[in-house]
Amino acid sequence: MNALTAIKNLPKDTIIDIIKMLGKNWLTVDGLWFQIVEREFGLETATRFDEEMWAKQSLAEARRIKKVMNITEEGPLAVAQANIFLSAYFNPKFEFEINETSPGKVIQTCIHCPNQEVRLKQGQKVFSCKKVGLTERINFAETIDKNVKVKCLVCPPDPRPDNIWCQWEFT
């Protein structure tokens, strides 16, 4: 028996709790390796490694998400909706809004970002994640629909409203 066999007999609520736990676990791994690299080699090196990791991770996850969810739709809305299925975003503390502002234009807004909120809680400064976020979303979008373009509207280190961590435009 393995976890996938065992999960088949569990109640739906338990399966959802396991998915939330796995999202938290994924972010724990992500945060711990980042903190260790940051402590040993500095924020600049940790950020460079993080960008390289997300460049590869976003491609792998986008291919898997597209296959498992049988995504055949194209366009900005399909990309933005699929993007929230990245493993890290199964942490229930992540909160996104997706708004189709006009045909062919979608805004994805991250309202709660546990990565940043934990850093602040631990007395660390906000992580400048704009380059990492852009790399992740561009690679992800190109995998789902190569015609979709991504633009960052706001993301640290940019000044931002209190109720938004980052905001992305898909066209």
Query: Hey, what are 24's tokens?
Result: 């938290």
Q: Is-cis flag, bond preceding 157, omega within 30?
A: yes
Neighbour tally for 60: CB within 10 Å: 11
- The pLDDT assigned to 147 comes to 97
Confidence of residue 4 (pLDDT cuts 50, 70, 90): confident
Q: In the structure, what pLDDT confidence band is assigned to residue 106 with cuts at 50, 70 and 90?
A: very high
What CA–CA distance (Å, rounded) separates 144 from 106?
Answer: 15
For 111-141, write each residue's pLDDT tens digit. Answer: 999 989 988 999 988 989 999 999 999 999 9
The predicted model gives 139-167 an average pLDDT of 95
**Residue 18: which H helix or E strand, with range?**
helix 12-41
Q: Which residues of 140-154 are buried (b: 16+ CB within 10 A; e: fewer)?
A: bbbbbbeebebebeb
| Per-residue pLDDT tens over the stretch 10-19 | 999 999 999 9
Segment 28-42 mean pLDDT: 93
Every domain of the chain and the residues it spans: 3-170
Q: Is the predicted pLDDT of residue 103 greater than 90, yes or no?
A: no
Q: Give mean pLDDT, residues 48-67.
A: 93
